[in-house]
Structure 1
Amino acid sequence: MRQQTHKRGRFTNKTVAIVAALALGGGGAAIIAANASAHGDKGDSGQNHTVAAKAGTIQCPDVGQKLSDVPRKARPNVDKNLAELDNQVAKAYQQMNQQQGSSDTVLSKLNDERSRTMDNIGSAMGGDNSQLQGMTDCKWQEVATQGGQQQGNQQGGDQQGDQQGGQQQGGDQQGGGDQGGEGANDVPGNAGGQAGNGPSQDDFVDITKVQPNVQQPPQAQQNGSTGTFATECGVGDPKLRNSDNVIVAPGVGNGAHHTHDYVGNDSNDAFANNQTFEQGGTSCKNQDDKSTYYWPVVRAQDGKDEADANELGGGQEGNVGTILTPTSSKIEFKGNAQSKVTAMPKFLRIITGDAKAFTNGDKNANASWSCTGFEDRQLTDKYPLCPEGSSVTRTFDFQSCWDGQNIDSANHRDHVAFAGEDGSCPNGFQAIPQLVNTITYDVPANTPFAVDGFPEQLHKPITDHDDFINVMSEDLMNEAVDCINSGKQCG
């Protein structure tokens, strides 16, 4: 397996550690949750109320990220079993929240189910269980509450030391996020999330008190490619939303356990395939772009029910509140500082970010939250509180290096990589147009918000992610490449 190169293009690694340490109280895998139903008690107002609860969540090894050598013929069976592992965790989390047995009882049953499912994965791979060692057992992690804030009390080894060090170094730089005082950008008192499973108050930070942290991009070299190619595809049709994920869990309904917005191809669900995408329609103005771009929805924690309040992927799994339709989605493809770019293959699949980064750690986290007018301040583990007249932004810088052979890989990561700090691709990889997607929201004043996620991830901002499948025509992709390589701004 080639070494994966990871680069956070919009903020320094030091700042990432600082923000993560502040958000997690020095515990990188600390978990915050509450034993509450997805809705709580509903009165005549039609609004939901948070139920007080015990704090904690379930942490399981992410089997899918560890599987690098899966025979191609085995992947459909392996993917279905990986989706079943996620389903088991979601059900166990619900049982704990609803107090359907002790944590020990629920975890024992969960781990038995996981063991059987992982045996199925090993069988699908020809009896090879070597990649699955040590990944059966899940753990229940509780948290302590200190000074009205929830703080994790468990973490493993070196990562804890690193993040605690980051917290000690970074207090003044981050500014503390104005987490306790009063002011125009104070965290609303109901920032605990109406489902009771996050976000928490310390997931929010006043963007005006964050110091600029964005690094300048590497200077383009003589053979670099400096152009951009834009495609306009709208902000998503609410009727197309679903809780599937055709990349990670093809053929499995509700494989994401959270709801996605879709732009571009109008035929994206769990059962779509390359032919489906080829024959589908598109929301893009250029009808030769049938690519699919999708991301988790953002919801205002306003106490109101959405249409999916009683559905899987929605309220049944703690994803509640009014879904906010983006005001804009800017999709651009950019060049490489060191070299010309080559065309993406049709049906190339790329995921940026990690939907399980709260329990996995930040190795693959790539969230980038900010506010309009403050784009030089990007956050990976905080939601921004924006001043009046400023909108919330999410920016996703996708991997821009490709192995030259595969449109996907067993863990959906190894076939692509981030460019290095100087813009160069790892050995064996070649530069492709870099997708950069910036999504903007007008969040109601004094209303906390949260990204949809797996129930045990507790709506943490670090879990934000974005997905892309290239379904541009060959002519359009070549046009994009020519534009980028010639230094023009097109689209």
Structure 2
Amino acid sequence: MKWNSFVAALGLAAPTSALLRFGCSKLTIQRLDPLVNPGQNPSTHLHQIIGGNSFNVTMDPKTHDLAKLSTCTTCQFTEDFSNYWTAVLYFKAKNGTLKRVPQRAQQGMEGTQGGMVVYYMTDALFDTAQKSKVTAFKPGFRMLIGDVNYRSRDEARDFRQLTFICMQNEGTRAPETVEFPKTPCPAGIMANHRFPTCWDGVNLDSPNHRDHVAYPESGTFESGGPCPSTHPVRLPQILLETVWDTKAFNNKADWPADGKQPFVWSSGDGTGYSSHADYVFGWKDDALQKAMDGHTYVTAPMLKTQTIAQQNKCSVPDMVGEDFDSWLPKLPGDIMVN
């Protein structure tokens, strides 16, 4: 089902208030992480990155202004020079070798090379009113969601709504699981990363890149839960959707002999519980605040857009120089699956 039909089927066709939904093509795939491992080349594990082309090894928050230093972005809205990244999905075959799973564009965004779909919301995704006010992120703002070391359901409870969808078709949006799907997924695996929506109002970052943000003290962002007193400023909800094109790996005869699902994160996690994502704010001037204060649903006439062909042209040089696309005996960085 196409997105427009999907929206209309839920009664969301009429334009109302501020929700941004836009595609971003691949900027680069490299073993770099300037948020967690600044200055380290290579970093510990492989990431797929979208956004502005000032992305590099260090990105010192005191001097690195993404909006000023970037000359292009892989995102549809040309004012968004932010960087967003997640780990990379691999398939582990019966013989133990590993192959990177490609990303694919969602329907309506065909031609986009890899990448993700990004949402900024003032209320729940399917709340057509989108009536709440939010404060846009400030220059220098950064955050991380998820923990690369987690391997159990109990650990994963520290974070909300980091999920997977086993897509049966293009319109599949349920059920969501917190571990990797255990059966072949005809239309791929969608990974969802929803970031915290409450800010302390002071710190643009914190040592673990998490303490300056929080979840609502009760309920969820979608249910309108209030922010805790320690983090009183309500932020837009950022949701990242990545569709991993697993169709080439759906033959169960190629899956591990023990019958376990065959997909692993590039960090070595075969459970899915370590799902994580990074965000470095880079919107130009007050473009994001204006969009959040606007009155549109999905589209944003106050923002400038570019074609998918233009998005695909934006990239950064290979700064690591390693093979991550062949059939590999180990994950990049010699990481073992655990």
Would the alpha carbon gap of residues 370 and 262 (structure 1) be closer, same or farther in structure 2, given more than 3 Å must change? same
Query: Identity over aligned residues, as a percent?
Result: 22
Structure 2 residue corresponding to 1:231, chosen from 2, 22, 42: 22
Residue aligning to 2:211? 414
CA distance in 1, matches of 2:137, 2:151: 31
CA shift, 1:404, in A, is 0.9
> Secondary structure of the equivalent of 1:357?
coil
Tell me the CA shift for residue 320 of structure 1.
Answer: 3.4
Pairing 1:479–2:290 present: yes
Partners of 1:350 and 1:231 lie apart in 2 by 20
SS at structure 2 position matched to 1:478 = helix
Task: Find the counterpart in structure 2 of residue 55 from structure 1.
Answer: none
Inter-CA distance 362–285: structure 2 relative to 1 (3 Å threshold): closer
The secondary structure found in structure 1 opposite 2:207 is: coil
Q: Which residue of 2 aligns with 1:8?
A: none
Partner amino acid, structure 2, of 1:343? A
Q: Which of the numbers 165, 189, 195 marks the counterpart of 1:370?
A: 165
Kindly indicate whether residue 229 of structure 2 is the aligned counterpart of residue 427 of structure 1.
yes
Please tell me whether the aligned partners of residues 282 and 290 of structure 1 are also in contact (alpha carbons under 8 angstroms): yes
Higher helix share: 1
SS in 2 for 1:480: helix
Change (3 A) 1:400 1:487: farther
**Cα offset, 1:347, TM superposition:** 2.5
Higher relative contact order (CA 8 A, sep 6+): 2
Distance of aligned partners of 1:385 and 1:226 in 2 relative to their CA distance in 1, 3 Å threshold: farther
- Any idea what the Cα deviations from partners look like across 1:338-366, whole Å, max 9, x if unmatched? 94111211231121221111279224345
Q: Secondary structure at the match of 1:479?
A: helix
Correspondence for 2:239 = 436
**CA distances 1:34-67 after superposition (whole Å, capped 9, x unpaired):** xxxxxxxxxxxxxxxxxxxxxxxxxxxxxxxxxx
Distance 1:260 1:298 in 2: 9
Judging changes above 3 Å, is the alpha-carbon distance between structure 1 residues 344 and 398 closer, same or farther for their aligned structure 2 residues?
same
Q: Choose from 460, 469, 473 the match for 2:271.
A: 460
Q: Contact 2:180–2:263 at 8 Å: present in 1 too?
A: no
Hey, what does 2:121 align to over in structure 1? Answer: 334
Question: For the aligned residues, what is the CA RMSD?
Answer: 2.8
- Cα drift, residue 266 of structure 1: 2.4
TM-score scaled by structure 1? 0.46
Partner of 1:381: 179
Counterpart among 232, 237, 249 of residue 37 in structure 2: 249
Report Cα offsets for 1:105-137 as digits up to 9, x if no partner. xxxxxxxxxxxxxxxxxxxxxxxxxxxxxxxxx
Any idea what SS the aligned residue of 2:156 has?
Answer: coil
Q: Is the 8 A contact 1:370 1:384 kept in 2?
A: no
Question: 60, 67, 73: which is aligned to 1:273?
Answer: 60
Counterpart AA for 2:19: T
Match among 98, 106, 115 for residue 320 of structure 1: 98
Equivalent position of 1:395 in the other structure:
192
C-alpha separation between the residues in 2 aligned to 1:325 and 1:266?
20
Match of 1:293 among 73, 77, 84: 84
- Give the counterpart letter for 1:431 in structure 2: R
Contact 2:65–2:139, Cα closer than 8 Å, also in 1? no
Identify the residue that residue 129 of structure 1 maps to in structure 2: none
Secondary structure in 1 matching 2:204: coil
CA positional deviation for 1:438: 1.0
Aligned to 1:358: 151
What is the TM-score with the length of structure 2 in the denominator? Answer: 0.65
CA distance, structure 1, for counterparts of residue 123 and residue 200 of structure 2? 15
1:173-199 deviation line (CA, Å, top 9, x unaligned):
xxxxxxxxxxxxxxxxxxxxxxxxxxx
What secondary structure, in the 3-state scheme, does the structure 1 residue paired with 2:208 have?
coil
Distance change in 2, residues 1:451/1:482 (3 Å): farther
Number of equivalent positions: 245
Q: Is the 8 A contact 1:341 1:433 kept in 2?
A: yes
Contact 2:141-2:204 within 8 A present in 1 as well: yes
**5+ long unaligned stretches in structure 1:** 1-224, 305-317
**In 1, Cα distance between equivalents of 2:145 and 2:49:** 16
AA matched with 2:272: P
Q: CA deviation at 1:368?
A: 0.3
